[in-house]
Amino acid sequence: MKKIYCNIKKCLGCGSCEIACAVEHSRSKKLDSAISENPLPIKRRKAEFIEEGISVSTGCQHCDNAACVAACMSGAMYKEAKTGLTQHSRDKCVGCWMCIMSCPFGAITREKLEKQVVKCDLCPDRNKPACVEACPTKALSLGTFKEFKQLCNM
């Protein structure tokens, strides 16, 4: 399964991924207009400085046994058979926040007014997720775990 990995050794916690993510998930998909949209677009990643030498960008891990899927009482959160990704159906979501309660990575965010949640969807309209493309140090990558390990020489 391909997903987004972060190499902590390269991450600066600069937040470029967050901005790219929010813009990609905005209505206009352009930074200058996205910042004045109402409601503001919601990012699905978090980049931060943790302590000296540690910065990280995190988001949905598309877990094998996804706790959010088990907790979802409306069937909105599901595993996509073909790709193994954890996907979310807006048509089915009722905004019960059970997935937020269950996600060990805190990777799910409320869209309060819509009573929906949002999470990483790997940017279905793009070849490469916006955050990966925007990362100035190439800390973020899209691929399998094997590919990520090779990339990190581990």
- Which residues of the chain form contacts with another protein (CB under 8 A)? 5-9, 46, 48, 50-51, 54, 56, 58, 61, 63-65, 67, 70-71, 73-75, 92, 94-98, 100-110, 112, 145, 148-149, 152, 154
DSSP secondary structure letters along 57-104: EE-----TT-HHHHH-SSS-EEE-TTT--EEE-TTT-----HHHHH-T
Q: Which residue has the tokens 């069937």?
A: 75
CB of 11 to another protein, least distance (A): 9
CB of 30 to another protein, least distance (A): 27
CB of 124 to another protein, least distance (A): 22
- The H or E element containing residue 16 is helix 16-24
Let me know: does 120 contact 130? Beta carbons within 8 Å.
no
Two tokens at 13?
């916690």
Length of the chain, in residues: 154
Nearer to another protein, 58 or 87 (CB): 58
Nearer to another protein, 32 or 64 (CB): 64
Nearer to another protein, 31 or 50 (CB): 50
Q: How far apart are CA 35 and CA 117, in angstroms?
A: 20
Nearer to another protein, 31 or 94 (CB): 94
